[in-house]
Chain A
Amino acid sequence: MKKDAIDIRWHGRGGQGAITAAKIVAKAMFQSGYEGVVMVPTFGTERRGAPVFTSLKISTEKIYDLSPIDKPDIIVVLDHVLLEEANIVDGLKEGGTIVINSPCSIDDYRFEGRKVAICDVTTLAQQAGLREGIVNSGIIGSFAKATGIIDMDLLVTAIREEFSRRRPEENAKAALLAYENTVIGG
C-alpha cells in the first residue's frame, strides 16, 4: 500500500448502487488531483439483495495493487442492517471512519477508537424526489461531510454527470440534504 493512500471500502446490497457511488467518488477524487484512483468491485455469485462490497483506493501516485482492501481507513455502509448480517467493520483502522445510512440515533453506534457518522439517507432521498430505496447518491453527501477529504461541489458535478439521464437534480439534492443532515460522533 502506498504511504499516502486512502482506502475506502463500500458495503451495500446487490442492486443498491454501491459500485456507482464509489465510481462517482473516484471520478471526483481524480479531478481533484489524485492520480492514483482504482475501484475494484469484488465479484462472487451475488444476487440482488445479497451483501456486496467494493474497494476504492486513492493515492497521489499510480496504484499497482488491485487486491481487495482488508484494512480500510473508511467504511461506507449503504444499509445499516448489514452491520447485523456480516462482519463488515472488519479491519477498520484505529482512528478510521465509518459512515452509515441509518434511521437510528448516533448513540446506538459505538466503535472503539473510530469516528462514526450517520444519516437517514433513505428518508432524505425520498424527500429529494427519488424513488424509495435509491441511496447511492445521498450516501456520497454523508461521506463528504464525515471525511472532509473532497469538495462537495466536485461531487455534486460528478453526481449530475453520472445520473445525467436519471433524475440528475434529485440525485444532487439527495447528496446535499445528506451532507447537511449527517451527524458525527464516536
Chain B
Amino acid sequence: MHIIESGNVAAALGVKLSRAQVIAAYPITPQTPLTEKLSEFIESGEMEAQYVPVESEHSAMAVCIASSSAGARAFTATSANGLLYMHEQIQWAAGARLPIVMCVVNRGVGAPWTIWNDHQDSISQRDTGWIQYYVNDHQQIIDGVIKAFMLAEEVMIPVMLCYDGYLLSHTYMPFEVPEASAVDAFLPPYKPAYALDPENPANLNTVTMPDVRLDAKGRLAHGYMEIRYLLQEDLIRTIDVMARIDESFRKHFGRGGSPYYETYQCEDAEFIAVSLGSLSYHLRDVVDMLRADGFKVGVMSVHLYRPFPAEAIADALAGSTGIVVFEKALSYGYQGALCSDIKSALYHKGVDGSRMPFVHNYILGLGGREIRTTDLCEAFRKSCTEGAAPTDELRWLGLKI
C-alpha cells in the first residue's frame, strides 16, 4: 500500500515491520518524530517491543549493546551531537560484533549550534567499524531499515542507516509500505549463535592481551589484533553479502538492484557527479539541465559507504573524463572524505599508466545552507569546461564570505 508520510515515519514503519524487540533512544532534532512514532506503536500495542527511555545517547547505545548481547533485535536512532555523545559505545558495539541497527538522521554538529542538515555527524563515525548505508528517499528508508537488520545479523556487524535531516526526515512523499507477512518471509527472527544466559554466566570482551594465549579450557584464543583483523575481514566480506541481500529483497518486493550505488545517465557520461543522500537525487535535475545543453554528464549516488565497495565504484568511474564530488562534510584540514576515498579507489586503475579521470571536490550545504539548483548547475558546468586543475584545491559552493 502506498502512503504519503514523512521520512521519520517511513523509518519507524520499517523498524516495526522488522519486529525490533528493544528500542532505546533519546530525543534529538531532527530524529525525534521517529522515536516518538515507535513509542506510539508500542504504547498502542501495534508493536511488541520494549521501549527503554534513557537519559542520554550514551545510555541508549549501552541498552542496545546489553539487549543485543542478550539476543534481542535492538534499534536506536539519533542525530548530530547525540551521535557524538554515543561515540565510545559505538566503537564498543562494533568490536563486540552486535547486530544493532541505528538510523542516523543527518544533521550538522556544534559548535556553533545548528539543527539543520549536513553529513558531518555520520562521516565523523566512518572509522568505527560500523556499516554505513546512505539513502535518498522514503522508499529507500523503509526498505533500507528492513535490509539493515538482515545484513547486520548475517555478518554480526552493526549498521548505521543514514538519511538527511529535514530534507527527508520531515518531508512528505509517497512510498510503498510492505506487507507484514512479506517482511516476515524475507527477514526471519534473530537467532544469535550466542546470547547471554543467566544459567550459563560468561565474560564478554574482557581485557585481551596483545598476544594470543590459551584460554581457561586450554584452547588457543585470539589476541586483540586477531579479533580486529576478523572485523576488517568480515566488513570486506559484507560487500558481497550486501549484494546478495539486495537481490533477495528484489525477489521478495520487486525493488532494488543497486546495492552499492545508483547511477543516472552514466552509461555514456564523460563527467560524473558523485554524492551521498538526497543531494544525489537533486543532482539528477542538474544532469537533465546540462544534458539539454549538450554536456554528457551523469550522477552516481553512493549508498554503501562503509565497507567501501572500492572496486565496483572505480570500475564505474574509471572510464570517465572527470569526476565531481559534491559533499556536505569534510575531513577538516584536508578535503571531503568521500572525495579522498574515491581517489584512493581509482589509484590502482592508474598504476599501469592508464589515463585517469580528474577529480574536483565541492563542499556545500554545511549547517543547512541552501543548495540552489542553479549553483549546482554552474559548478558542474564549470568543472566540465575547465577540466583537470593544476592543484587539488577544495572548492566551496554557496559560501558568502
Interface positions of A (Cβ within 8 A of B): 1, 23, 26-27, 30, 35, 37-41, 43, 45, 63-68
- The chain B residue sitting closest to A29, CB to CB, is B4
5 more A-B contacts (CB under 8 A) besides A39-B171, A64-B285? A37-B173, A40-B167, A66-B171, A66-B281, A67-B370
Say whether B2 faces chain A, with CB atoms less than 8 Å apart: yes
Q: A66-B278, A67-B373 are in contact. Are A23 and B4 (CB under 8 A)?
A: yes
Chain A residues near B173 (CB, 8 Å)?
Answer: 37-39, 63
- Complex Cα spacing A39 to B172, Å: 5
Chain A residues near B168 (CB, 8 Å)?
Answer: 66
- Complex Cα spacing A43 to B167, Å: 10
**Of the residues B30, B282, B372, contact of A64 by C-beta under 8 Å:** B282
- Complex Cα spacing A95 to B143, Å: 41
Q: A26-B4, A30-B2, A37-B4 are in contact. Are A65 and B171 (CB under 8 A)?
A: no
- The chain A residue sitting closest to B280, CB to CB, is A64
Count of B interface residues, CB-CB < 8 Å = 22
Are A65 and B166 in contact, with the CB atoms below 8 A?
no
- The chain B residue sitting closest to A37, CB to CB, is B174
Q: List 26 A-B contacts (CB under 8 A).
A: A23-B172, A30-B2, A30-B4, A37-B4, A37-B173, A39-B4, A39-B172, A39-B173, A40-B167, A40-B171, A41-B166, A41-B171, A43-B30, A45-B115, A63-B173, A64-B282, A64-B285, A65-B373, A66-B168, A66-B281, A66-B282, A67-B282, A67-B370, A67-B371, A67-B372, A67-B373
Min Cβ gap B182→A in Å is: 22
A-B contact count (CB 8 A): 54
Chain B residues near A64 (CB, 8 Å)?
Answer: 281-282, 284-285
Are B373 and A30 in contact, with the CB atoms below 8 A?
no
Chain B residues near A66 (CB, 8 Å)?
Answer: 167-168, 171, 278, 281-282
Say whether B170 faces chain A, with CB atoms less than 8 Å apart: yes
Are B170 and A41 in contact, with the CB atoms below 8 A?
yes
Chain A residues near B4 (CB, 8 Å)?
Answer: 23, 26-27, 30, 37, 39
- The chain B residue sitting closest to A55, CB to CB, is B171
- Complex Cα spacing A71 to B155, Å: 48
- The chain B residue sitting closest to A63, CB to CB, is B173
Are B172 and A65 in contact, with the CB atoms below 8 A?
no
Chain A residues near B174 (CB, 8 Å)?
Answer: 30, 35, 37
Min Cβ gap A137→B in Å is: 17
Interface positions of B (Cβ within 8 A of A): 2, 4, 30, 115-116, 166-168, 170-174, 278, 281-282, 284-285, 370-373
- The chain B residue sitting closest to A43, CB to CB, is B166
Chain B residues near A27 (CB, 8 Å)?
Answer: 4
Are A65 and B285 in contact, with the CB atoms below 8 A?
yes
- Complex Cα spacing A35 to B139, Å: 13
Chain A residues near B172 (CB, 8 Å)?
Answer: 23, 26, 37-39
Chain B residues near A23 (CB, 8 Å)?
Answer: 4, 172
Min Cβ gap A42→B in Å is: 9
Chain A residues near B282 (CB, 8 Å)?
Answer: 64-67
Chain A residues near B166 (CB, 8 Å)?
Answer: 41, 43
- Complex Cα spacing A64 to B139, Å: 13
- Complex Cα spacing A86 to B132, Å: 42
- Complex Cα spacing A38 to B2, Å: 14
- Complex Cα spacing A82 to B353, Å: 64
- Complex Cα spacing A66 to B167, Å: 7
Chain A residues near B373 (CB, 8 Å)?
Answer: 1, 65, 67
Chain A residues near B116 (CB, 8 Å)?
Answer: 43
- The chain A residue sitting closest to B284, CB to CB, is A64
- The chain B residue sitting closest to A39, CB to CB, is B172
- Complex Cα spacing A64 to B284, Å: 7
Min Cβ gap B75→A in Å is: 25
Are A38 and B170 in contact, with the CB atoms below 8 A?
no
Chain B residues near A1 (CB, 8 Å)?
Answer: 285, 373
Min Cβ gap A21→B in Å is: 12
- The chain A residue sitting closest to B29, CB to CB, is A43
- Complex Cα spacing A77 to B116, Å: 26
Chain B residues near A68 (CB, 8 Å)?
Answer: 370
Chain A residues near B167 (CB, 8 Å)?
Answer: 40, 66
Which of B171, B172, B281 has most A Cβ within 10 Å?
B172
- The chain A residue sitting closest to B283, CB to CB, is A64
Min Cβ gap A51→B in Å is: 18
- Complex Cα spacing A154 to B152, Å: 43
Chain B residues near A40 (CB, 8 Å)?
Answer: 167, 171
Which of A39, A45, A63, A65 has most B Cβ within 10 Å?
A65
- Complex Cα spacing A37 to B175, Å: 10
Chain A residues near B115 (CB, 8 Å)?
Answer: 43, 45
Chain A residues near B2 (CB, 8 Å)?
Answer: 30
- Complex Cα spacing A68 to B285, Å: 15
- Nearest 3 pairs of A and B residues by beta carbon: A39-B172, A64-B281, A64-B284
Chain B residues near A63 (CB, 8 Å)?
Answer: 173
- Complex Cα spacing A66 to B173, Å: 10
Min Cβ gap A7→B in Å is: 13
- The chain B residue sitting closest to A66, CB to CB, is B167
- Complex Cα spacing A39 to B168, Å: 10
